[in-house]
Amino acid sequence: MRRMDDSTVAPPIAARKPAVASYHGRDISDDYAWLRDPGYPEVKDKAILAHLEAENAWFERRMKSHRPLVDTLFREMRARIKEADTSVPYKDGEWLYWIEFEEGAEYKKWWRRPVGAKDDGTEDQLILDEPALAEGKDYFRLGTLSVSQGGRLLAYAVDDNGSERFTVRIKDLESGEMLADEIPGTLSSLVWVAGDSGLVYSLANEQWRTDNARLHWLGTPLDDDVELYHEDDEGFRVGSSLSANEQWLIVTTSDHETSEVRLIPAADPLAEPLLVRAREKGLEYDVDERDGTLYVCANDTHENFRLATAPLDAPAEWTTLIEGSDELYLTGFELFRDFYVVDGRLAGLDRIEVRYYDDPARIEPVAFPEASYSAGLGTNPEWATDKLRLSYESMVSPSTVYDYHVAEQRLETRKVQEIPSGYDASQYRTERLEIAARDGTPIPVSIVYRADREQPGPLHLYGYGAYGIAIPPGFSTARLSLVDRGFAYAIAHIRGGDDLGRAWYKAGKLERRVNTFTDFVDVANGLVARGYTKAGRISISGGSAGGGLMGAVVNSDPELWGAVVAHVPFVDVLNTMLDASLPLTPGEWPEWGNPIEDREAFELIASYSPYENVRAQDYPPMLVTAGLNDPRVTYWEPAKWVARLREMKTGDTELLLKTNMGAGHGGKSGRFRSLEETAEEFAFILWQMGMAE
C-alpha cells in the first residue's frame, strides 16, 4: 500500500519497453532505455517530456503540504547571507578589482578602479554586470572572465541554459563598447596573447569534448581562427593557461591519469610548441617557468608527486627540488618573482609553504589557528609581490580572507564572512575522528554539532569519493538549518577522494571502487557505535559520483538510512561506460574501467552499478534530482533509476524525482534560487525523519 495524501492519485509509472544488449556473453536488459532521447542533447520526444513533467508534478504534490517548512528554511538560509556584499579588492597591474552583490541580487557585478584612486566611488568602473546579462533568463552562468594584460579588453563566456556550452564576447573597457567578435560553443579558459591581439580558447566538439586549443585574432572571422593544437585521443581534454610571469602559453592535454604539456611563447603564439615531456601512461605533471628554468610537479618518482626543475633547452631532464613523500601530498605550486609557494596536504589537512629559489632549505609553512580547517591560495595575479591572498575556513569558522605578509610571516585578516542573522561559534563543536573500515583502514570523519546537542540524535552524513577530489572540512551557513535542529553533520573522507594523498584516491577507483561504498557504510556504523546517532536516524546526501555512492549504499544497506538525497546521481554506470558516444565516457575509463574491452571491468561495474542492482526490498525515503541539459550526468540516468526503483521497491516510503527542465549539472543558477533547492532538500529530510515543523 502506497502512502498518499489522495488515494486516487499515484506516482507516475514509466512504461516498460524491453531492450537487450549483449557484452562478453552476457545479456543486459534495460526496460527504461527509451527515456534517452535519440536526439540528445536536444530533448523533444513528447513521451519522455511528459514522463519527466509527470514526475515533477508528483514531486510538487507530495511536497505541497511541506511548502511552509521549505519557506521557513529558505528564510533562515537567506537571513544568514549578507545580501549587499563586497569582496576584498586585489591588485593586478594598474588596477584594483573586486566583485559586489547588491541587495536582493542573484548575480554579482564586477568592478575596478585605478590603484591609488580614492575609495569614494568616483573612479570606480563597472566592467561586467551579471544581473543585466541574466535579465529575462531562467538560467545564467558566467563561465570565465579574463582581462587583457594591458587592462583594456575583457573577454567573458556565458552559458544561458545549463548545457555548459559557452559563448565568448569581448568588451572594450575604455569605450564600454562590445567588439563584434563572438565565439559560440566554447568550454575553456580564455587566455590573452600576442600583446592582447589574440585570444586562445577551446571549442567543445559534438561529444562535448575539448580536443583543441585555438587562436582567435581580434577583428577577424572565426573561420580564420588557427588551431594551435589538436588532440587525437578521444579520452583526453585540452586546456590552456599563462605562465605566472605571462611569458608562456601553456597548453595541457590530459585524462584522469596521464598528462602532456607544451609551451608556446605568448608573444608569438604561432611559434613551434615546445613539448616538455611526451605522454607516458600514468604520468601526470604540471609546468611553470622562471628565468629559463622550468618547474615541474610530477608523479614519476612518487605517487604523491615531487617538484623538479629542468632547463628550457632540455625540458624532459628533471632534477628533484622537493622529494615526493608519504607524509606530504603535493597538490600544486605557484611561482612568484622572489619566492614560490607549495600547496599540499599533511595528514589530510591543507598545508601552504613559502619557499625560496636561492635557499632550498628555507621552508616557511603558514600557521593557521585551528586543528582542523580548509585553506588555500586566493587570487594572486602579480608576479612581483610581497604578500599572498589566502582563504580559510573550518566547520565552525566562517570563511576568512587573509593577506599573508611573506617577510614577516604574518597573517592579516582582511575579511570575515558576516552572518546577518547572527552566529556564535562557541555554541558549536567540531571533531575530526577516525573510524575503522571493515578492512581495518582508518577513515577520517569531520563532524560538527551544537554544544548542547543530545546524543544519540539525528545525523546527516555527506560523501563523494571519486576522481581524487577531496571534500574539505569547510563552513556552510545553509548547514546550520539542520545543525540547529539537533543534527550532527558529518563528512566521510572516504577512499576515492585524495584527502590523504594519491594512494587514498587509487584505493577507491577501478578494481578497488567498492571501497568507496563500504567505507561510507562503515563510517555510518561507526558513528552509531560511538553514540552519535542510531541506525535509521541517519540522513545522507551526495551529488554526481556522490549520487552514485547514494545509489550503491541504498542497495546494500537500506535499513541504515532515514532519508536519502541523490543529486544528479551517476547511477547508470554500466550503460554509460559501455557507450563511447557519450560526452564523458572515453575520458572516464581510467577512473571506472573500460567494460567494452575488459570483461573483468564489465563484471565489476555490473556488480555495483546502482541501476543494475536495484532489487525487491524496502528502500529508504529518497529525493532524486536531475537536469535536462546536464552534459555530465545525463537526465535519463536518474529518470531510469527512479523508474526501476518504482517497479522493484517494496514498502511505502517516498520516492521523488525532480528534473530541472532548464538547467544542467549544478541545478538552478543564482545565489537565492539555488538556495531554494537546498531548502527543499532539507525539508524533505526533516519530513522523513519525523522532524517537520
Catalytic residues: 544, 630, 665
The amino acid that residue 649 corresponds to is K
- How far is residue 285 CA from its own chain's centroid? 21
Query: C-alpha grid cell for residue 519?
Result: 567505507
- How many C-alpha atoms does 679 have within 13 Å on its Cβ side? 21
Strand partners, 442: 436
Cβ partners under 8 Å of residue 58, min gap 6: 11, 12, 656, 657
Length of the chain: 693
Q: Say how many C-beta atoms besides its own lie within 10 A of residue 646's C-beta.
A: 18
DSSP string, 63-105: HGGGHHHHHHHHHHHHHTS-SSEEPPPEEETTEEEEEEE-TT-
Cα 232 to Cα 189, 237, 577, distances in angstroms:
20, 10, 20
Q: Is cis: bond before 18, omega within 30 of 0?
A: no
Q: Are 214 and 200 in contact (CB under 8 A)?
A: yes
d(CA 394, CA 372): 7
List the alpha helices (DSSP H) in 448-584. Answer: 480-483, 502-506, 514-529, 545-556, 573-577
Q: How far is CA 32 from each of CA 20, 267, 645, 646, rounded to the nearest angstrom? A: 11, 54, 11, 12
Query: Is the CB of residue 648 less than 8 Å from the CB of residue 616?
Result: yes
Dist CA 170 CA 190 (whole Å) = 11
* Main-chain phi, psi angles of 531, to 5 degrees: 90, 10
Pairwise CA distance, residues 145 & 168, whole Å:
9
CA distance 632 to 630: 6
User: With contact defined as beta carbons under 8 Å apart, do 17 and 48 qualify?
Assistant: no
Residue 303 has φ and ψ, to the nearest 5°, of -65, -20
Strand partners, 389: 403
| Cβ 333 vs Cβ 297: under 8 Å | yes
- Number of other residues whose CB lies within 10 A of the CB of residue 454: 7
Q: How far is CA 281 from CA 212, 303, 415, 526, 591, in A?
A: 20, 13, 44, 38, 13
Q: What angle do CA 484, 487, 489 make, to 5 degrees?
A: 105
Distance CA 449, CA 422 (A): 17
The angle, 0 to 180 degrees and rounded to 10, between the axes of the packed helices 673-688 and 46-63 is: 60
The set of residues, in sequence order, having a beta carbon less than 8 Å from that of 136 and lying 6+ positions away, is: none
Identity of the residue numbered 349: L
Q: Measuring CA to CA, how many Å separate 605 from each of 217, 235, 555, 572, 581?
A: 46, 19, 14, 10, 19
Residue 75: CB partners within 8 Å, gap ≥ 6?
A: none
